[in-house]
C-alpha cells in the first residue's frame, strides 16, 4: 500500500497533543435516541480475520489466494443472497498478467439509496519495509493490511442479515490492491497499486451503479491506532469524512479518530472517487512516529494476527455501523 507521501507527510502535523494518553473503556452499545444500532462484535470480526490469515499470505496466483476467495464468497452467501464475483485480468508492475477477483455482497439490492463499504483482501507479496533485508521478497500475512478491513466488513454483513435496513448497502472486497512496485525499485508507479478498484471503478458490477457515499477500511486492527482525516478523502468527500469522525467522537472513540488532516494517500478510494464519481473516504491507520507514516509492522513479516487489537476493530466497526444505520 500506498503511495508513500507520508514519511514527509507528518512534518506538518504537530501531533503531540493529538496522541492518545490512555484509552478509555470501549463502550459495548452506543446510544442513539432515533435509531436502533446493532452492536458490532469485535470477537466475531477477529475470528473472520483469523480465518483469512490461516490460509497463509493471500498473494494473487497462490493456492491461499484462491482458497480465501472461495471462503469469502461462502461467508457472504451466509448473510446475503446477492453475491457477485467479478473476475478480471490486470498487468502488474513487472508486466505479468494476473487474474483477480472482486467480491461484492449487496443488501437490499432494489433500493435506490445505497452506501458502499469496501476493503482489499489480497496481501502484499513483498515485505519490502522489513528491517531485515533478507525478508524483502517474502510475502506477508497481511493481518492488519487487508484482513482487518475484510474481517470488520464481514461482521457488518452479519449484522445486516439480522437487522435489515430500508436503504441498500454494498460491500466490495477488492483484489490486487497490494501489488505495487517494491520500495527497492525506486520509481513512482502509483497506478500499479489498487488494480481491483481501478477495474471496478471503470466497469462496476452493475452498469450505472451509484451510491450516496463510500467508506474504505484499510489497516483498522493495530493496537493504539490513529485515524487521521486523510487528504484524498478530504479533497473528494469532506462532508462524509466530517460525518464519520463526528460520529466516532459522539460514541466514545475520539481517541482513535483524530480531527487533523493528513497528506493524501493513493488507495482504493482514489479511483472510486476519480473514475466512479462516488464520494468515498478512507479510514486508514496513519502513525507519524514511524519512518513510513503507517503502522509499525506495515509491509513487514510481522504483520501477523498476534499484533491485532480487538479494541481497535471495535472502534472502527461500531463507528461504521452507527453511520450506516443512522443514514
Separation of alpha carbons 307 and 298, rounded Å: 11
Q: Per-residue pLDDT tens for 238-293?
A: 999 999 999 999 999 999 999 999 999 999 999 999 999 999 999 999 999 999 99
With a cut of 50, say whether residue 226 has pLDDT above it.
yes
**Lowest mean per-residue pLDDT among 7-21, 146-160, 287-301:** 7-21
Q: Averaged over 189-204, what is the pLDDT?
A: 92
Between 86 and 8, the more confident residue is 86
Contacts of 237 (CB under 8 A, 6+ apart): 213, 273, 279, 280, 281
CB 302 within 8 A of CB 315: no
Whole-number percent of the chain with pLDDT over 90: 83
pLDDT bucket at 102, cuts 50 / 70 / 90 = very high
Pairing mode, if any, of strands 213-218 and 114-120?
parallel
Separation of alpha carbons 318 and 52, rounded Å: 21
Reduced to 3 states (helix: H, G, I; strand: E, B; else coil), residue 93 is coil
Eight-class DSSP state of 127? -
pLDDT bucket at 3, cuts 50 / 70 / 90 = low
Separation of alpha carbons 80 and 157, rounded Å: 8
With a cut of 90, say whether residue 135 has pLDDT above it.
yes
Whole-number percent of the chain with pLDDT over 70: 88
**Lowest mean per-residue pLDDT among 26-30, 117-121, 213-217, 294-298:** 26-30
Angstrom CA distances, 135 to 65, 130, 236, 299, 320, stand at 20, 6, 37, 10, 35
DSSP-assigned letters across all residues of 147-199: IHHHHHHHHHHHHHHHS--SSEEEEEEE-S-S-PPPGGG-S--GGGS-HHHHH
Residue 191: predicted pLDDT: 84
Residue 10: predicted pLDDT: 42
Separation of alpha carbons 71 and 214, rounded Å: 24
Q: Per-residue pLDDT tens for 143-159?
A: 999 999 999 999 999 99
With a cut of 60, say whether residue 9 has pLDDT above it.
no
Separation of alpha carbons 206 and 86, rounded Å: 11
Reduced to 3 states (helix: H, G, I; strand: E, B; else coil), residue 14 is coil
CATH of domain 6-12+31-325: 3.40.630.10
Task: Please state the domain extents for the chain.
Answer: 6-12+31-325
CB 288 within 8 A of CB 15: yes
Residue 185: predicted pLDDT: 72
Chain centre to alpha carbon of residue 239: 19
Q: Per-residue pLDDT tens for 168-192?
A: 999 999 999 999 888 877 566 668 8
Residue 131: predicted pLDDT: 96
With a cut of 60, say whether residue 23 has pLDDT above it.
no
Chain centre to alpha carbon of residue 129: 20
Q: Per-residue pLDDT tens for 37-52?
A: 999 999 999 999 999 9
With a cut of 90, say whether residue 311 has pLDDT above it.
yes
DSSP-assigned letters across all residues of 274-298: III---EEEEEB--TTSSSSS-TTT
What pTM was estimated for this model as a whole?
Answer: 0.90
pLDDT bucket at 12, cuts 50 / 70 / 90 = very low
With a cut of 80, say whether residue 19 has pLDDT above it.
no
Amino acid at each position: 500500500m500506498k503511495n508513500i507521501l507520508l514519511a514527509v507527510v507528518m512534518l506538518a502535523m504537530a501531533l503531540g497533543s493529538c496522541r492518545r494518553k490512555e484509552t478509555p473503556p470501549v463502550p459495548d452499545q452506543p446510544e442513539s435516541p432515533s435509531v436502533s444500532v446493532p452492536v458490532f462484535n469485535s470477537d466475531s470480526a477477529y475470528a473472520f480475520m483469523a480465518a483469512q490469515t490461516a490460509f497463509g499470505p493471500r498473494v494473487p496466483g497462490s493456492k491461499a489466494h484462491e482458497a480465501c476467495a472461495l471462503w469469502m464468497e461462502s461467508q457472504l452467501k451466509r448473510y446475503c443472497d446477492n453475491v457477485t464475483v467479478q473476475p478480471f485480468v490486470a498487468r502488474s508492475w513487472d508486466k505479468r498478467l494476473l487474474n483477480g477477483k472482486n467480491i461484492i455482497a449487496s443488501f437490499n439490492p432494489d433500493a435506490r439509496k445505497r452506501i458502499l463499504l469496501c476493503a482489499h483482501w489480497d496481501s502484499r507479496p513483498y515485505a519490502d519495509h522489513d528491517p531485515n533485508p533478507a525478508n524483502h521478497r517474502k510475502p506477508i500475512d497481511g493481518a492488519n493490511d487487508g484482513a482487518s478491513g475484510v474481517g470488520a466488513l464481514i461482521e457488518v454483513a452479519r449484522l445486516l442479515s439480522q437487522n435489515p435496513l430500508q436503504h441498500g448497502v454494498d460491500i466490495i472486497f477488492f483484489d490486487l490492491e497490494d501489488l505495487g512496485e517494491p520500495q527497492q525499485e525506486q520509481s513512482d508507479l502509483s497506478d500499479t497499486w489498487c488494480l481491483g478498484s481501478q477495474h471496478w471503478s471503470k466497469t462496476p458490477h452493475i452498469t450505472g451503479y451509484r451510491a450516496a457515499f463510500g467508506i474504505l477500511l484499510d489497516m483498522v486492527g493495530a493496537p493504539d491506532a490513529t485515524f487521521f482525516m486523510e487528504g484524498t478523502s478530504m479533497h473528494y468527500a469532506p462532508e462524509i469524512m466530517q460525518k464519520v469522525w463526528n460520529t466516532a467522537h459522539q460514541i466514545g472513540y475520539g481517541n482513535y479518530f483524530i480531527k487533523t488532516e493528513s497528506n493524501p494517500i493513493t488507495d482504493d478510494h482514489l479511483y472510486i472517487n476519480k473514475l466512479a464519481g462516488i464520494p468515498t473516504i478512507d479510514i486508514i491507520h496513519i502513525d507519524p512516529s514511524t519512518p513510513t507514516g503507517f503502522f509499525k509492522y506495515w509491509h513487514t513479516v510481522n504483520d501477523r494476527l498476534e499484533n491485532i487489537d480487538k479494541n481497535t476493530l471495535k472502534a472502527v466497526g461500531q463507528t461504521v455501523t452507527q453511520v450506516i444505520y443512522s443514514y
